[in-house]
Amino acid sequence: MLSFALRRTLQALAVLVAVSAAAFALFYAAPADPARAACGPRCDNGQVAAVRQSMGLDQPLLTQYTDYLAGVVTGRDIGDVDGSVIHCDAPCLGYSYRLHQPVTEALVDHLPVTFSLAAGALAVLLVLGLGTGFVSALRHGGRTDRLLSGFTLVGASVQIYFLGYVAQWALVYSTGLLPLPSYTPPAEDLAAWAGGMLLPWLVLGFVNSAVFARLSRSQLLETMNEEYVRTARGKGLGRLRAHLKYTSRGAAGPLVQLLGLETGALLGGAVITETVFGLNGVGRFTAEAVSGQDLPAVVGAVLLAACFVVLFVALADLVVAWLDPRIRLS
């Protein structure tokens, strides 16, 4: 198990380095000039050149990339637009010239909203996805199975931006059943935090649970036909007990991997959901950075999202290897 964990850790680090290189290349492939965007529309060519030198953009590309990687590990000094030098503590993901703030600090300011959104949405996803898939597999071929399959098909087809606006109109503005989506720190008011996040949780969790439910149903049905499950049933074990004791664990591998991917993606920022509900999280921060041509912030947000995805996918792989020893031996 230790050697498997070490291999997955090295693979995760290699992926992060590759993503950082791709994100850094995106910084230069973008049509916007970072120096001109930082200086502003009224700057002449001489001022833009001075800003470019202050930002270190006149250095060779490889030098800039190695300085960037070193800053992630140890921190670094970054030149501001006015020529002053700002120290960026590790992990330094660059400096936002739009906000005049290190990208890491800006992301940390927005993370509590995204963490809250992801935690609630994952809870809804697990309850709806696993519950629907479990019941559907248990009632395979019956009316309940067809009804739940139609339910998940609707969830997989609907778009978050459509369902989000419809849900707000129906449950907030028309009936007042739910409060207007907003974020309140849970340490200040736990009830206001839960009430303000409830509708985004339900919408995001419902949409993402559809794929999870369909996968859990198919995996459970496939595992039900395995020899060891049929043997347990043949020895008199009831259908429900066989489901809980044998089928669920046998089908857990792909579900854990999908859950790890979903968790990493949600923590990286649910751009559409945060924009629809007006939540100022990492996703909305990224969207505003793109519209404002704040390339350091965009690169930092991409790297943060990649870190979350790689981390939780690696953790999911370790859990699957623990559940199924054949994987860590392969």
CA distance 109 to 102: 11
Reference 32, options 287, 306, 284, 298; nearest CA is 298
Q: Are 21 and 168 contained in the same domain?
A: no
CATH number for position 142: 1.10.3720.10
Q: Which amino acid, one-letter code, is at 42?
A: R
Q: Are residues 61 and 149 both part of a single domain?
A: no
Shared-domain flag, residues 132 and 69: no
| The predicted structure's pLDDT at residue 62 | 85
Judgement on whether residues 200 and 320 belong to the same structural domain of the protein: yes
- How many structural domains does the chain have? 2
Of 84, 100, 116, the residue at which a domain comes to its end is 100
Q: Are 199 and 224 in a shared domain? A: yes
CB–CB of 281/125 below 8 Å? no
Domain boundary among 80, 100, 120: 100
Residues 113, 94 share a domain: no
Could you read off the pLDDT tens digit of each residue along the chain, which spans 330 residues?
778 778 888 888 898 889 888 888 877 666 677 788 778 778 888 888 888 888 888 888 888 888 888 999 999 988 777 777 888 898 899 888 888 889 999 999 999 999 999 999 999 999 999 889 888 888 888 889 899 988 888 888 888 889 999 999 999 999 999 999 999 999 999 999 999 999 999 999 998 898 888 888 888 888 777 777 777 677 777 767 776 676 777 777 888 888 888 888 888 768 889 999 999 999 999 999 888 878 889 889 989 998 999 899 888 888 887 877 666 555
Beta bridge partners of 102: 95
Residue 303: half-sphere exposure toward Cβ, Cα within 13 Å: 28
Same domain, yes or no, for 92 and 145? no
Q: What is the pLDDT of residue 141?
A: 83
Nearest to 133 by CA among 316, 253, 25, 255: 255
SS3 186: coil
Does 239 share its domain with 116?
yes
Outline where DSSP puts E strands in 202-247.
Answer: none
Whether 7 and 89 share a structural domain: yes
- Same domain as 129, residue 79: no
pLDDT at 138: 81
| Residue 325 pLDDT | 67
Domain region containing 66: 2-100
Rg (CA), the chain: 24
- Cβ-based neighbours of 291, under 8 Å, separated by 6 or more: none
145 and 16, same structural domain?
A: no
The CA-atom distances, in angstroms, between 204 and each of 24, 121, 152, 175, 330 are 31, 6, 14, 21, 36
Same domain, 214 and 240: yes
Q: Which of 38, 71, 100 is the last residue of a domain?
A: 100
